[in-house]
Amino acid sequence: MKAFVVEKYDKDGVRAAEVPEPTVGDRDVLVRVSATSINPLDKMVRNGEFKQLLKYKRPFVLGHDVAGVVTRVGSGVRHFKVGDEVYARPRDLRIGGFAEFVAIHEDDVSPKPQSLTFQEAAAVPLVGLAAWQILVERARVQPGQKVLVHAGSGGLGSTVVQLARHLGATVATTTGPGTEELVKSLGADLVIDFTKEDFSKVLSGYDLVLDSVGGANLKKSLTVLKPGGLAISVVGPPDAGFAKQLGAPSFLRVVMNALSRKIRKQARSLGVRYEFLFMRASGSQLRELAGLYDSGQLRPVIDRVFPFDQTLDAMAHVEQGRTKAGKVVVSMVPEND
C-alpha cells in the first residue's frame, strides 16, 4: 500500500513509500483511510523529539488522525463490523494515518459523527481528545468559570473554545488579525488580537489557561490565573506525569520533572498550578465528542484540503505557518467519490 513513512529523524526524514498492509491483531480493526489531518505532533515525532519515550522502529508510517471505513476485524472485536464508518486517533506506537490502510485497536476507534464528512471527521480526533482531556478530565470546567484559550483560531484552540463554551465557561482567546469574527462565532466572549494587545495586562482571575505557544507566553499566562488556577500546556515543558503516562523508567520521570522545575516553581510562587498534557487515544471519548458534533454543539474548522500524494506539501503548509485557521486535511479521494 502507499504510505508516507519516517525513514530518519530529520525535517526531511519523511518519504513516500510502498509498504505492506498492516497486520490485524485479534482486537484490531483494519481501516481503509478516507482522510487524515496534519498536527504539530506529526512534526515533533518526525524530528525525534520524543524518541527516548516513544521508541518507534523506523521506517514507520506517520499520521495521528484517521477517518475511514472498516474493511476487516480481528477475531476478538465485538463493537465494529466491516463497512462501519469510523474515526480515531490511534494510540502511540500504533499511529499510521498517512497510509491507505491502518490497523487500530478497537478501544481507540469510534463511529464517525454522522453529520460530518470523512474530511471533516479527520480534522477532529487528536484535537477533540486533547480538548476533552484538558477541559473535562484535568480542569473539570464548570459553568461560570473563566477560561483563556491561546491561539483560538488554530486546530486545537478552535476546538477548546467551542467545548469550553458548551461547558458553560466564559471564554477569552488570543488570536491574530483576520480571525476575530471566526473565534467569536465559535463562542469566544472576549477576543484579544495578540499583535495589538498584551493579554496579561487586561485579563485576571481566570480558572484555566490553555497554552499552545510556550516560552514567555506560558510565563505570562500564570499571572492571569486566580489563586489555585491551572495552566495547562500542550507544548511543554513536560513533567513527570508525561513520562509516567508513557510508561517511561523512573530516571526519565526525574528528567521530565527537571525540565519543568522552573515553571512549576514560578507557578507555586503565584499560588497557581502548572501541568503538561500529552493527549492519549480514547474511543469512548470520541463517542462523546461525536454526539456533540452531531448535535451541532461543535463544528470542525478546516483551513485547506490536500490530496494524499501532496501529504508532504500539507505538512510544509502547517510548518511554515501558512494555516489561517483550523486544521489542514489530507484526503485519499475527492469528497464526492
Residue 92 predicted with pLDDT over 50: yes
Asked if residue 134 is part of any domain, the answer here is yes
Asked if residue 320 is part of any domain, the answer here is yes
Question: Cell triple for residue 55?
Answer: 521508541
Asked if residue 287 is part of any domain, the answer here is no
Give the span between the Cα atoms of 164 and 157, in whole angstroms: 10
Residue 337 predicted with pLDDT over 50: no
Task: Give, rounded to a whole angstrom, the gap between the first and last alpha carbons of the chain.
Answer: 20
Asked whether 64 and 100 are in contact (CB, 8 A), the reply is no
Residue numbers of the domain that contains 187: 126-276
Q: Are residues 147 and 261 in the same domain?
A: yes
What's the pLDDT score for residue 249? 86
- Counting the structural domains of the chain, the total is 2
Q: Are residues 178 and 119 in the same domain?
A: no
CATH number, domain of 305, equals 3.90.180.10
pLDDT in tens, 101-157: 999 999 999 999 999 999 999 999 999 999 999 999 999 999 999 999 999 999 999
Give the span between the Cα atoms of 121 and 235, in whole angstroms: 24
Burial of 19 (0-12, 13-18, 19+ CB in 10 A): middle
Q: Over 123-184, what HEC string results?
A: CCHHHHHHHHHHHHHHCCCCCCCEEEECCCCEHHHHHHHHHHHHCCCEEEEEECCCCHHHHH
Nearest to 330 by CA among 302, 307, 296: 307
Asked if residue 337 is part of any domain, the answer here is no
Mean pLDDT for the chain overall: 96
Asked whether 44 and 50 are in contact (CB, 8 A), the reply is yes
Asked if residue 285 is part of any domain, the answer here is no
Asked if residue 141 is part of any domain, the answer here is yes
What's the pLDDT score for residue 236? 87
Q: Are residues 106 and 212 in the same domain?
A: no
Residue 275 predicted with pLDDT over 70: yes
* Amino acid, res. 266: Q
Mean pLDDT throughout 81-105?
A: 98
Asked if residue 294 is part of any domain, the answer here is no
Nearest to 136 by CA among 163, 107, 170, 174: 163
Q: Are residues 31 and 90 in the same domain?
A: yes
Q: Are residues 131 and 255 in the same domain?
A: yes
Q: Are residues 111 and 190 in the same domain?
A: no
* Amino acid, res. 232: I
Strand partners, 69: 32, 85
Q: Are residues 39 and 13 in the same domain?
A: yes
Asked if residue 293 is part of any domain, the answer here is no
What's the pLDDT score for residue 10? 94
Q: Are residues 244 and 191 in the same domain?
A: yes
pLDDT in tens, 212-249: 999 999 999 999 999 999 999 999 899 888 888 888 88
Q: Are residues 114 and 131 in the same domain?
A: no
Q: What is the DSSP letter of 116?
A: S
CATH number, domain of 171, equals 3.40.50.720
Q: Are residues 10 and 148 in the same domain?
A: no
What's the pLDDT score for residue 335? 53
Which among 243, 261, 276 is the end of a domain? Answer: 276
Nearest to 13 by CA among 59, 53, 56, 50: 59
Q: Are residues 152 and 237 in the same domain?
A: yes
pLDDT in tens, 27-78: 999 999 999 999 999 999 999 999 988 999 999 999 999 999 999 999 999 9
Q: Are residues 119 and 131 in the same domain?
A: no
Which among 260, 276, 292 is the end of a domain? Answer: 276
What's the pLDDT score for residue 77? 98
